[in-house]
Amino acid sequence: MMRLPKFEYHTPQTIAEAVKIMAGAGPAGQFVAGGTDLYPNMKRRQQMPKTVISVMRLAELNQITGDGRNGLRIGASVILTDVCEHPIINRDYPVVAKAARTISTPILRNMGTIGGNLLLDTRCNYYDQNYEWRKGINFCLKKDGDVCWVAPGSSKCWAVQSSDLVPVMVAIGAKLRFVSTLGERVIDAAGLYNDDGIDYLHKRPDELLVDIQLPPTNGWRASYQKLRRRGAFDFPVLGVATWIATDNSDVKDARIVLGGIAPSPVQITEAASALIGKPLTDDQIIAAAEAAYIKARPLDNTDFVYQWRKQMARQYTLRALRDLQS
Amino acid sequence: MVKNLKVVGKPFRKVDARAKCVGQTKFADDIVLPRMLFCKILRSHLPHALIKNIDVSKALALPGVFAVVTGKDFPIPYGILPVSQDEHALCIDKVRFIGDPVAAVAAIDEDVAFDAMNLIEVEYEPLDTISTIDEAVLIDEPRIHEYGDSGNIHKKVSLEFGNVEEGFAEADLVREDTFFYEGNTHLPMEQHAAVAHFDSDGKITLWSSTQTPHYVHRALAKVLGLPASHIRVIATPNGGGFGGKSDPFNHEVVVCKLSMLTGRPVKVTLTREEVFYCHRGRHPILMRVKTGVKNDGAITAMHFQSFLDGGAYGSYGVASTFYSGALQTVTYEVPRYKFQGLRAFTNKPPCGPKRGHGTPQPRYALEVQLDKIAEQLGMDPVEIRRKHLVAPNSITANYLRIGSMGLGQCIEKVVEGSRWNERFSGWDPNNRKLPFGKGIGIACSSYICGAGLPIYWNNMPQSGVQLRLDRQGGVCVMCGSTDIGQGSDSILAYIVAEVLGIDPFDIRVVTADTDLTPVDLGSYSSRVTLMTGNAAIQAAERARELLVMAVAEKLGVPIENISLAERRVFDVENPEIGVTFAEAVVLAESKFGTLGTVGSYSPPRSPGRYKGSGVGPSPAYSYSAAVAEVDVNPDTGIVVVERVWIAHDIGRSINPMLVMGQVEGSVYMGLGEILMEEMVYRENRNVVHKFPSMLEYKSPTTMEMCDVKTYLIEDPDPNGPYGAKEVGQGPLLPVPPAVANAVYNAVGVRIDEVPITPEKVLRALKDKARGRIGRFGPAAIPVVDWPEPLRVLTPSEGGDGSEMPRVAVHG
Ligand SMILES: Cc1cc2nc3c(=O)[nH]c(=O)nc-3n(C[C@H](O)[C@H](O)[C@H](O)COP(=O)(O)OP(=O)(O)OC[C@H]3O[C@@H](n4cnc5c(N)ncnc54)[C@H](O)[C@@H]3O)c2cc1C
Ligand code: SF4
């Protein structure tokens, strides 16, 4: 079996206690929820926190409150299975439940949390490998090395944002609440992600994600389409989240967000412009899909041939927007 | 004997099913012994390098470390084939792929072993790598091995049966096609594990998840310097094998040595990455097929060339090379046949036998080419196959003796089941019965039921069974065979129960223990049911005879009148007169002394006598036919296999439920190979395996599994136990080509390269739309200096199975 490095483990019962332990631990500290992302990374020696602080006993992080009329708060430690099955999420935010149901497998969803999913490490075929394998290629920029094997001339890491919920949260305009010993802040989901595979979050490591706030549901519809090799297990290698607000029959506002192709979710503003101010007709959809295709620039660091993934940006945007037509 | 069967043919549960369902089965990794140490193996992170120095001092100094071994401790090489003794348990002076083992540690727990492993310092001098077949053919230096046919070519084979040029001259149509079948791996759920215990009497026991305990026993005797009689190998139940646990492995040798050095039990459990590095899976094969046919589709000659990417060691590779050219002749008449095969050494984990060993690749090429030929001749692909089947009880051009042959019935079943005639619309794309994007395709195949010859030359049986009857009425059947999930333990119980008239669950089955059980060569080449089954029948009939004699004497009735059924031994004329089975055993033991019988099996001699005729002969051949129905999305190229109809000529099912399970499992594995599985490496990045993990090595999940309709054809073969033939491997073979042919039927493009991934389909569709050929696949084969073929006259030319003398040419 692959072995975990040694670490100290804490299970605080309150947010105040959690952020205090974190402040004390400094850069060697890291929060853990379900551990489905963190522990494999530790086994592969990609992340090596000395102090690991569980967020699973924090009551406030385990709740779902509100509804579509007033907006919904989902605690960061809510497991993905509960997101999939929650009656109000299914009734009022079906796109969130649907995207969550495409995540990996039922077993993973029983462990993994929504918070962990939104903070998921970026992924790359040259990075998500054990230490010995990475030694074979003399490591890479993201960890222990100095070259990016995907784009050897680049000084940036292109590891991929690989959560299904991230593009959805960005598209529907969710907000995220963080707490640290320095206080609290609430930001737009879109503002959290940074287009850099190493430094992929606009967030300090000591900030605790407390909850995800979904906006009231009046006047908009959203959809999500995911590309992956198999019907389970697989991370998205392209995810298309679409959101439109309508005014009578015209599209008033729109957001098309692609996940799984770059270090951060990619908003295709050209695709949104193609839709805004007109009814959602086939022609508008084709124009938006074309814009998504042009802007999608995946690299060769996930499953599938990357040129084909780029072509699929058109097909999957078409599908996602057609889901909104009915 | 065959009438009134009570057990054979019935869907009994497996004898080990409950233990597996409730988690009681002890796999190798479940074994825990007092004072046991844990082993970790340091592996090379370079694909090809000389080992300049290894410093283990820091590792040895770590508290909790008991021993560290390196290549120096294992001077004697081994390998599964006598002709390829090219492995060392730990590399001595050179590493040949990323993952090659270099040093090993035994420590108090796995964490310490892991830390110690990382303290070992190895100095390497990197060498240039050979990463493709083309490179191996072109580049002689550096050589990966100092042996082999030349440079980096491990083996070249050249055989010609009859004169193929004459055959091509007679043909109305000659086609040449090039195909590539990517390598893939077994992916058993259980990672290999082994525990060794060297005891104070100087004897060693190894528990290991191996499919071939007998060969492991031989390898250990060779490399450990212990007498074979002091070595005991116990194969634990395998959590899947599929051929991936058929070689003796370095980790098995290493834990034995560490146990000898420390005097403690030592366990190793490989990580999933290490399982990928053990590999021994499907060889990537580039193939060129040239086939001549008459206008009615009759083949006049075939010339088959295969180029195998063997990886860094020999393994079964020489056999794989021969197999890639052996079974082309056993489905449709091929009157003249030429085969040229080449296996290359490359700096990758070694390839070897995976389900279908060496034959799914050529079968795919042959069946797809036949589809193309049918189109060119305007024939229905069913007809071109059905019309030219090999006759039962015949001998092929390459001297394989066919016994029962149920392929015609198989074809009939799948054609009927799939409503082929209502859905296959001929070859005119403008006159379709199915909508564009939906398609069906057919393919057939055949596989051996055990190899005619053992791996090392000997005149002994390939399988032995020993029966012990105790006076409480207990029956114990002992056999060296290894249950890898296929149900071989159950087969022994069913057969003995059938002969002795008792319940299969009354029987204790003891298998795969070189101290307790007579030799069976192992679970490979689909040999187990046929060979152990025949041996079990012999042992059980001998026991039955003793019981019958004793009971006949007691009852005072003639021997012919005694029957065994329902745990009784009785007079058939007065069934109420008789004794219980247990009483019969007491009578027999009283009369003959302690009761034990043995049975054994040796396959019949093959008619082929030329050099190379050892690969291909079998006591019997199973046959399969499959129709696949696919949905191809022309916008994405994504292929979904919706349904497979498959018929398998099993001879007779000992247990139809287990047979069906093997058929469905084969379909599943075949789908993985045709749709997604790829054992690939990054040639420009140190030849690392692209992704040695279960997440990114894409193998289908249950979500990708299609509906399967299975038909069993029962045409008993005289060589099989109760007429049974194999099912463990054969049904995989028709699946990949049936899917490939269905894809063509659906969207009109040929994907001559496995796997058929969406990007390949989309590329071919785009090419076609642009007026180019709608095909994705390899264009060329390497230029090779083939040796003069060994020529053999075919049976119909009056040949006697031996090669013709080479004509000496004087200059
Ligand atoms: C085999 C496999 C397949 C997968 N497939 C998919 C897929 O198809 N789609 C998909 O979207 N995802 C997929 N995932 C990712 C999976 O969804 C995430 O691993 C999971 O959601 C993470 O949740 P967790 O609670 O286990 O996070 P953890 O592993 O506990 O944490 C993940 C990260 O978030 C941080 N963190 C967690 N909680 C907090 C908090 N409250 N505040 C601050 N930081 C925090 C941790 O420090 C860590 O950096 C897959 C994972 C695996 C292993
Ligand atoms: S994108 Fe480049 S730097 Fe980032 S993980 Fe992949 S190889 Fe490493």
Can you list the domains of chain B with their CATH numbers?
17-24+461-601 (3.30.365.10), 31-127+189-240+245-278 (3.90.1170.50), 285-452+608-776 (3.30.365.10)
pLDDT at residue B810 greater than cutoff 70? no
Q: Does A229 touch chain B (CB under 8 A)?
A: yes
Q: What is the mean pLDDT of residues A288-316?
A: 97
Cβ-contact A174, A212 below 8 angstroms: yes
| Res A45: pLDDT | 95
- Report the greatest alpha carbon distance in chain A: 59
Q: What is the CA radius of gyration of chain A?
A: 20
- Nearest 5°: phi and psi at B759? -65, -35
pLDDT at residue B229 greater than cutoff 60? yes
Query: Is residue B69 within a helix (H) or strand (E), and if so which, with residue range?
Result: strand B65-70
Bridge partners (DSSP) listed for residue B101: B43
- Structure tokens, B226: 């212990």
From the list B643, B297, B637, B732, the residue with the least C-alpha distance to B440 is B643
Neighbouring CB atoms inside 10 A of B463's CB total 27
pLDDT tens, position by position, B692-734: 999 999 999 999 999 999 999 999 999 999 999 999 999 999 9
Q: How far apart are CA B549 and CA B519, in angstroms?
A: 29
Which ranges in B704-811 belong to alpha helices (H)?
735-747, 758-769
- HSE, side-chain direction, 13 A CA sphere, residue B771: 0
CB contact under 8 A, A129 and B691: yes
Q: What is the mean pLDDT of residues B36-44?
A: 98
| Res B807: pLDDT | 60
Within 8 A by CB and 6+ apart from A197, the residues are A122, A124, A142, A156, A157, A158, A159, A160, A263
Chain A nearest-CA distance from B287, in A, is 24
pLDDT tens, position by position, B279-337: 999 999 999 999 999 999 999 999 999 999 999 999 999 999 999 999 999 999 999 99
Cβ-contact B482, B213 below 8 angstroms: yes
pLDDT at residue B4 greater than cutoff 90? no
Length of chain A: 326
Q: What is the mean pLDDT of residues A234-256?
A: 96
Angle at B91 between CA B88 and CA B93, to 5 degrees: 120
Q: What is the CA radius of gyration of chain B?
A: 27
Q: What is the mean pLDDT of residues A79-89?
A: 98
Residue B130 DSSP symbol: -
Name the residue in chain B with its Cα closest to that of A313: B636
| Res B64: pLDDT | 98
Q: Picking from A14-18, A129-133, B2-6, B545-549, which range would have the lowest pLDDT averaged per residue? A: B2-6
Optimal mutation site among A308, A316, A317, interface B, most CBs of chain B within 10 A: A308
- Percentage of residues in chain B having pLDDT higher than 70: 99
* Confidence band for A326, pLDDT divided at 50, 70 and 90: confident
Residue B601 identity (one-letter amino acid): Y
| Res B134: pLDDT | 97
Cβ-contact B359, B326 below 8 angstroms: yes
| Res B811: pLDDT | 41
pLDDT at residue B464 greater than cutoff 80? yes
pLDDT tens, position by position, A121-172: 999 999 999 999 999 999 999 999 999 999 999 999 999 999 999 999 999 9
| Res B3: pLDDT | 62
Q: How far apart are CA B726 and CA B719, in angstroms?
A: 12
pLDDT at residue B2 greater than cutoff 60? no
Within 8 A by CB and 6+ apart from A38, the residues are A30, A32, A47, A49, A52, A116
Query: Is residue A289 within a helix (H) or strand (E), and if so which, with residue range?
Result: helix A282-295
Chain B positions touching A311 (Cβ under 8 A) are: 762
pLDDT at residue B445 greater than cutoff 70? yes
Which member of A136, A304, A307 has the closest CB to residue B686? A136
Q: Does B545 touch chain A (CB under 8 A)?
A: no
Q: Picking from A246-260, B1-15, B470-484, which range would have the lowest pLDDT averaged per residue? A: B1-15
* Confidence band for A247, pLDDT divided at 50, 70 and 90: confident
Q: Is A38 exposed, middle or buried (0-12, 13-18, 19+ CB in 10 A)?
A: buried
pLDDT tens, position by position, B352-371: 999 999 999 999 999 999 99
Q: How far apart are CA A139 and CA A149, in angstroms?
A: 9
Q: How far apart are CA A128 and CA A134, in angstroms?
A: 9
Q: What integer best gives the mean pLDDT of chain B? A: 97
pLDDT at residue B1 greater than cutoff 60? no
- HSE, side-chain direction, 13 A CA sphere, residue A267: 16
- Nearest 5°: phi and psi at A38? -70, -50
- Structure tokens, B661: 């399970």
pLDDT tens, position by position, B390-434: 999 999 999 999 999 999 999 999 999 999 999 998 999 999 999
pLDDT tens, position by position, B629-686: 999 999 999 999 999 999 999 999 999 999 999 999 999 999 999 999 999 999 889 9
Q: How far apart are CA B69 and CA B512, in angstroms?
A: 29
Q: How far apart are CA B793 and CA B399, in angstroms?
A: 10
Which member of A132, A229, A308 has the closest CB to residue B43? A132
pLDDT tens, position by position, B534-590: 999 999 999 999 999 999 999 999 999 999 999 999 999 999 999 999 999 999 999
| Res A203: pLDDT | 96
Q: What is the mean pLDDT of residues B193-218?
A: 98
Q: How far apart are CA A275 and CA A277, in angstroms?
A: 6
Q: Does A152 touch chain B (CB under 8 A)?
A: no
Q: Does A14 touch chain B (CB under 8 A)?
A: no
- Structure tokens, B265: 């039990």
| Res B684: pLDDT | 86
pLDDT tens, position by position, B71-126: 999 999 999 999 999 999 999 999 999 999 999 999 999 999 999 999 999 999 99
Superfamily of domain A221-326: CO dehydrogenase flavoprotein, C-terminal domain (3.30.390.50)
- Structure tokens, A227: 């590309």
Q: How far apart are CA B127 and CA B562, in angstroms?
A: 73
Neighbouring CB atoms inside 10 A of B452's CB total 23
The two beta strands, B231-235 and B266-269, are: unpaired
Burial A131-148 (b: 16+ CB within 10 A, else e): bbbbbbbebbbbbebebb
Neighbouring CB atoms inside 10 A of A44's CB total 18
Chain B nearest-CA distance from A73, in A, is 32
* Ligand 2 atom closest to A154 (CA): 2
Q: How far apart are CA B532 and CA A155, in angstroms?
A: 63
